[in-house]
């Protein structure tokens, strides 16, 4: 078994696709539309779906707001140079909500960015990505 995708509901599909492509460097892999049930899906990722997990953005037509809830945490993305990545995100118009630095009580270097709908994305330097946040 493997994780295929993570789904996020978004309020403006084009704005979200633009964010994940231009700010986070993902590729739009495919889209589909269901007019009977009034939704559009967009799948984005760094690799094709047969090679890696991807992100599914779901736009329910006419929905302009969601309650994000308290159970959702974040999506984590491994990066080679967290400082350069955060600079690139900032220059592309992204919002860094936690500057790069060690996690509290550990050595793992992390940062957080927020997408247009308020979802959190954690960057973890690849050097530490497999070690766990406490190390």
Which positions are catalytic?
122
The span from the CA of 28 to the CA of 17, in Å, is: 7
Cβ-contact 89, 96 below 8 angstroms:
yes
Instruction: For residue 15, give the H/E element and its range.
Output: helix 13-18
Helix (H, G, I), strand (E, B) or coil at 23: helix
DSSP summary character for residue 125? E
């Amino acid at each position: 078994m493997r994780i295929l995708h993570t789904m996020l509901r978004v309020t403006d599909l084009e704005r979200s696709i633009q964010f994940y492509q231009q700010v986070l460097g993902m590729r739009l892999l495919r889209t589909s539309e269901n007019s009977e049930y009034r939704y559009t899906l967009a799948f984005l990722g760094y690799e094709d779906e047969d090679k890696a997990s991807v992100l599914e953005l779901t736009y329910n037509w006419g929905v302009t707001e969601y309650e994000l809830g308290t159970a959702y945490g974040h999506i984590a993305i491994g990066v080679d140079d967290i400082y350069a990545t955060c600079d690139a995100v900032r220059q592309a118009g992204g919002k860094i909500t936690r500057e790069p630095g060690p996690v509290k009580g550990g050595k793992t270097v992390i940062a957080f960015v927020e997408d247009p709908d308020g979802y959190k994305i954690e960057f973890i330097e690849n050097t530490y990505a497999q070690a766990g946040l406490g190390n």
